């Protein structure tokens, strides 16, 4: 996939002077009348008046200070640009990929179990190194299975809903993912991507929520010292290790507006432990009453897989089970969280309050990245073509490159990409986004609809400084 132009990234590390000057520039919508010569009525045309008004209109600025324009194309424009054959799904081709990944997982297990033993590899450090490699490889191909099951959930695997849900249920249950439960909540995420009130995952904290979390007032955020690299690294480690199970059990990073659930099932329920919001309870406000049987079926898949693991641990040893399945499972979780976090978290991405949100805008609030050979051939392009996936999620991954190229012509500068950075660029983005994307707020001086377009800000001196609020204004 060829690279498409995006707003220039200027990773500014602010000094105090820089911060104040940027804040002043953002707050000043127009130059002083004393600094601008006034035109006489005879020399002022309607067009020049319009351009002057446009110049005085406050600009929306992303974290790096790039100007942001709200997308104005429609989902019909997007769909019309995609060649019709890209929508075609092949059960044979999809099953072949699923069989390939499953066979590789089985082959890796057979090879290591047979040949990496004390008899064949007497050196303990060598065996530890080789089995560490095993866990990494199984984590990669396990993630590939996860992606294909995700295709099933979107009905992109084939034209048969029964086949899609059967393969998806098997693939996700194998990875301890509640297939139907996650399929339903993930579908709602696609319907509300970038919507601060309705999105289901990686909803950023507002300024007030972030301040509350660290025990500060909203006015104090712009005055805080930067977060230490150690704390950033610790937060990243916790996110990568526990982010996925925490999401399933407590809906962390999902919206917390369950009172608005149309069946009234969210009354009194909140995210967090024992708050009644999770992916396992049929009465969770993430679902409707009609979904109950599917939630139970998802739980059944987990029970079956859990029983298989219990049998393996009891009969072959719990340490063996940890190496054979447990650590690869953690690798899958790591890749899953890293991929989804970086698809929706970047200093160039906006988020919208409900009054400014629509589907086309929300789907553009995502970004394509690059993970080299692994991303393309093991993760099935989920990293490289995610923007397209949010516009048309039924397009199978093997047609996604061509379709992605097509929609970029419609999106123009609204298409966000970090193409051709490889796996090192992907991992670097984890650190960059963690440092730069702490909470979201409107651009200083934004007016009208622009007040409901939110961008990431931080206390780490990166990019546009946070707005300075007086106690009176809060």
Asked whether the predicted pLDDT for residue 89 surpasses 90, the reply is yes
Copy the structure tokens of residue 300.
Answer: 């059944």
Give CA–CA dist 97/91, Å, rounded. Answer: 10
Q: How confident is the model at residue 13 (pLDDT cuts 50, 70, 90)?
A: low
Give CA–CA dist 249/264, Å, rounded. Answer: 21
- Burial track 396-424 (b if 16+ CB lie within 10 A, e otherwise): bbbbbbbbbbbbbebbeebbbbbeebbee
Of the listed ranges 22-26, 89-93, 254-258, 329-333, the least confidently predicted one is 22-26
**Bridge partners of 350?**
455
pLDDT reported for residue 472: 52
Q: DSSP secondary structure string, 238-298?
A: HHHHHHHHHHHHH-TTS---GGG-TTSTTTT-BSSTTSB--SS-TTSTTS-GGGHHHHHHH
Give CA–CA dist 164/281, Å, rounded. Answer: 23
Asked whether the predicted pLDDT for residue 354 surpasses 50, the reply is yes
Contacts of 464 (CB under 8 A, 6+ apart): 12, 22, 23, 26, 61, 62, 63, 64, 65, 443, 455, 457
Give CA–CA dist 339/297, Å, rounded. Answer: 27
Q: What pLDDT, in 10s, does the model give residues 208-245?
A: 999 888 888 887 777 777 889 999 999 999 999 999 99
User: Residue 69 gets which letter from DSSP?
Assistant: -
pLDDT reported for residue 22: 44
pLDDT reported for residue 15: 44
Chain centroid, CA 176 distance in Å: 20
Task: Give the residue, 34 or 173, on which the prediction is more confident.
Answer: 173
Q: What pLDDT, in 10s, does the model give residues 282-304?
A: 999 999 999 999 999 999 999 99
Closest CA to 143 of 9, 312, 437, 339: 339
Q: Where are the beta strands (DSSP E) in 285-360?
A: 350-352
Asked whether the predicted pLDDT for residue 151 surpasses 90, the reply is yes
Asked whether the predicted pLDDT for residue 157 surpasses 50, the reply is yes
Helix axes 327-344, 422-436, angle to 10 degrees: 70
Q: What pLDDT, in 10s, does the model give residues 293-347?
A: 999 999 999 999 999 999 999 999 999 999 999 999 999 999 999 999 999 999 9
- At residue 176, φ and ψ (nearest 5 deg) are 60, 35
Of the listed ranges 44-53, 75-84, 319-328, the least confidently predicted one is 44-53
Copy the structure tokens of residue 385.
Answer: 């073509």
pLDDT reported for residue 363: 97
Asked whether the predicted pLDDT for residue 116 surpasses 80, the reply is yes
pLDDT reported for residue 125: 97
Asked whether the predicted pLDDT for residue 165 surpasses 90, the reply is yes
pLDDT reported for residue 58: 80
pLDDT reported for residue 2: 40
Task: Give the residue, 3 or 114, on which the prediction is more confident.
Answer: 114
Q: Using DSSP bridges, classify how beta strands 453-457 and 439-442 pair: parallel, antiparallel or unpaired.
A: antiparallel
Task: Give the residue, 45 or 119, on which the prediction is more confident.
Answer: 119
Is 459 in contact with 226 (CB distance < 8 Å)? yes
- Burial track 95-127 (b if 16+ CB lie within 10 A, e otherwise): eebbeebbebbeebbeebeeebeeeebeeeeeb
Q: How confident is the model at residue 5 (pLDDT cuts 50, 70, 90)?
A: very low
pLDDT reported for residue 331: 98
Copy the structure tokens of residue 24.
Answer: 């002043």
Asked whether the predicted pLDDT for residue 52 surpasses 60, the reply is no
């Amino acid at each position: 996939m060829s690279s498409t132009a995006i707003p220039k990234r200027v990773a500014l590390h602010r000094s105090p002077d820089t911060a104040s000057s940027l804040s002043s520039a953002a707050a000043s919508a127009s130059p002083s009348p004393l600094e601008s010569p006034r035109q006489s009525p005879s020399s002022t045309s309607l067009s020049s008046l319009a351009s002057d008004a446009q110049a005085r209109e406050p600009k929306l600025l992303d974290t790096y200070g790039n100007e942001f324009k709200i997308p104005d194309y429609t989902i019909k424009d997007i769909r019309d640009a995609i060649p019709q054959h890209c929508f075609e799904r092949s059960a044979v081709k999809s099953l072949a990929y699923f069989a390939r990944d499953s066979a590789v997982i089985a082959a890796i297990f057979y090879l290591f179990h047979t040949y990496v033993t004390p008899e064949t590899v007497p050196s303990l450090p060598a065996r530890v190194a080789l089995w560490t490699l095993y866990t990494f490889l199984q984590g990669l191909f396990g993630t590939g299975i996860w992606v294909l099951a995700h295709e099933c959930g979107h009905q992109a695997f084939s034209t048969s809903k029964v086949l899609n849900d059967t393969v998806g249920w098997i693939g996700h249950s194998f990875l301890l993912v509640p297939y139907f439960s996650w399929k339903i909540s993930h579908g709602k995420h696609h319907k509300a991507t970038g919507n601060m009130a309705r999105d289901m995952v990686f909803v950023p904290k507002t300024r007030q929520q972030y301040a509350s979390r660290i025990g500060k007032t909203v006015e104090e955020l712009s005055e805080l010292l930067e977060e230490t690299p150690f704390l950033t690294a610790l937060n990243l480690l916790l996110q990568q290790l526990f982010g996925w199970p925490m999401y399933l059990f407590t809906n962390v990073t999902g919206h917390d507006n369950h009172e608005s659930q149309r069946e009234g099932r969210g009354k009194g329920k909140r995210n967090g432990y024992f708050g009644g919001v999770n992916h396992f309870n049929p009465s969770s406000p993430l679902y409707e009453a009609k979904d109950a049987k599917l939630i139970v079926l998802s739980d059944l898949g987990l029970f079956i897989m859990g029983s298989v693991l219990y049998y393996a641990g009891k009969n072959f040893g719990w340490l063996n089970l940890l190496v054979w399945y447990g650590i690869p499972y953690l690798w899958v979780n790591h890749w899953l969280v890293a991929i989804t976090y970086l698809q929706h978290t970047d200093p160039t991405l906006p988020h919208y309050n409900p009054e400014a949100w629509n589907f086309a805008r929300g789907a553009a609030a995502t970004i394509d990245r690059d993970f080299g050979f692994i991303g393309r051939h093991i993760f099935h392009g989920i990293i490289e073509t995610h923007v397209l996936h949010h516009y048309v999620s039924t397009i199978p991954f093997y047609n996604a490159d061509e379709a992605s190229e097509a929609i970029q012509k419609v999106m123009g500068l609204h298409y966000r990409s970090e193409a051709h950075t490889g796996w090192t660029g992907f991992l670097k983005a984890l650190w960059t986004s963690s440092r730069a994307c702490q909470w979201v707020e409107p651009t200083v001086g934004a007016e009208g609809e622009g007040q409901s377009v939110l961008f990431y800000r931080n206390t780490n001196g990166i990019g546009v400084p946070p707005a300075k609020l007086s106690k009176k204004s809060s």
